[in-house]
Amino acid sequence: MAANAWFETVAEAQRRARRHLPKSVYSALLAGSERGRTYHDNTAAFAELGFAPHVADLPAKRDLATTVMGQQISLPVLISPTGVQAVHPDGEVAMARAAAARGTIMGLSNFAGKPVEEVVAANPQTFFQMYWMGTRETMAGHMERARDAGVKGLIVTLDWTFSHGRDWGSPWIPDRLDLKALARFAPQGLTRPRWLLGFARTGRLPDLTVPNVAEPGRPAPTFFGAYGEWMQTPPPSWEDVRWMREQWDGPFMLKGVSRLDDARRAVDAGATAISVSNHGGNNLDGTPATIRLLPGIARVVGDQAEVLLDGGVRRGGDVVKALALGARAVMIGRASLWGLAANGQAGVENVLDILRNGIDSALLGLGRASIHDLEPGDVLVPPGFTREIGVTGEIGSPRDA
């Protein structure tokens, strides 16, 4: 990698990912759905928020450390689970190493391209993400494998509706990178020789299989094979969520909450944490930006569960805004993927350093010695900014009609 591999913003990591990756791989990372309204609102909403800085009595040192689901972390940013990280030969292992090197948690997707055992070896602070897919028996098996591997928490992601149309077009991604697929892929690969070279050095082609959902003794299915099974699984009820919670005796996060009543039900189902999330705008387009929904959800949940947010986080200032408005920590999806694509493990470390420095700098300007001192008054919230969707009510009250 060139001497100038370091980048100063996440926007620059994105530009490098775009230059480095074949077009279809880059657009698979960008994702989004339908008009891309939610995808854009996730970032635009952060930009609508302002700060209220001080000029004197500023703290000489700032404390960024916190805990999430019992794990001590050095900054309030986790790696959000994202599927098949074949943008780099080391994929999830490189991502996990970077998170470990910077003192934070690795969220490992159900559809990861690397075995959970290898990822936990790279970062013992790994949370394993599950989709509702297959039978209860197969899901119990996958959770058992994750537990045996030593993961420290479970993330259950429920916000997915299987719509995939995008006005800007969806990329062609082969089921397997065999010779036939490579021939079709070649024109794009040849325009990005450095990306191909990265894989050529390892003697392997990008692997599009998902080993953590393999049946015992069977080969890992392909991503699209697993996706097909997921699509055919009847969606879960709250009773199913409670069942899953009972199978897991450790910390349990429910990811994908947008509504107040769903937040309440997640707490009632025994969630240790929830993530206010719309899957990075990849799901139901028109869902408001997560940062607009956060204050209402944080108020309804109170201290009955930890509240995280993911969606649109690109700067340390975004993290500080989310914490001031009620999040305990945030998770990053695309920012980490662009870092990985731009410069492997070092690129993800670079992204985490950008966020750490940005958080530190915002704390300094706001006159806050610790992330735990942040409060809503630190942020300028324009009128009409927040959204509250779903019926409010107290946690533990009967289910709304």
Ligand X SMILES: Cc1cc2nc3c(=O)[nH]c(=O)nc-3n(C[C@H](O)[C@H](O)[C@H](O)COP(=O)(O)O)c2cc1C
Among 14, 33, 42, 258, binds ligand X (CB under 6 A): 42
Taking CB positions, which residue lies at the least distance from ligand X?
Answer: 333
- Binding piece for ligand X, criterion CB under 6 A, among 55-63, 276-284, 372-380, 389-397: 276-284
Contact yes or no for 117/149 (Cβ under 8 A) = yes
Among 81, 189, 206, 295, binds ligand X (CB under 6 A): 81
Number of helical H runs and strand E runs in the chain: 14, 12
Closer CB to ligand X, residue 322 or residue 379? 322
Q: Is 333 annotated as a binding residue?
A: yes
Q: Does 157 bind ligand X (CB under 6 A)?
A: yes
Backbone angles phi, psi at 193, to 5 degrees: -60, -30
Tell which positions 179-208 bind ligand X, by CB under 6 A: none
DSSP 287-355: PPPHHHHHHHHHHHHTTSSEEEEESS--SHHHHHHHHHTT-SEEEESHHHHHHHHHHHHHHHHHHHHHH
Type of residue numbered 163: S
Q: Does 38 bind ligand X (CB under 6 A)?
A: no
- All residues at 6 or more sequence positions from 231 whose CB lies less than 8 Å from its CB, including other chains: 162
User: Which residue in 241, 234, 293 sits closest to 267, CA to CA?
Assistant: 241
Q: Does 80 bind ligand X (CB under 6 A)?
A: yes
Closer CB to ligand X, residue 188 or residue 282? 282
Closer CB to ligand X, residue 24 or residue 392? 24
Tell which positions 372-401 bind ligand X, by CB under 6 A: none
Q: Does 31 bind ligand X (CB under 6 A)?
A: yes
Phi-psi map region of 373: left, alpha, beta (phi>0 left; psi -120 to 50 alpha): alpha
Q: Is 279 an annotated catalytic residue?
A: yes
Q: Is 153 annotated as a binding residue?
A: no
Both tokens of residue 86?
């074949």
Specify binding-site residues for FMN.
81-83, 109, 129, 157, 255, 277, 310-314, 333-334
Q: Which residues bind ligand X (CB under 6 A)?
A: 29, 31, 42, 80-83, 109, 111, 129, 157, 255, 277, 279-280, 282, 310-313, 332-335
What are the residue numbers of the active site?
279
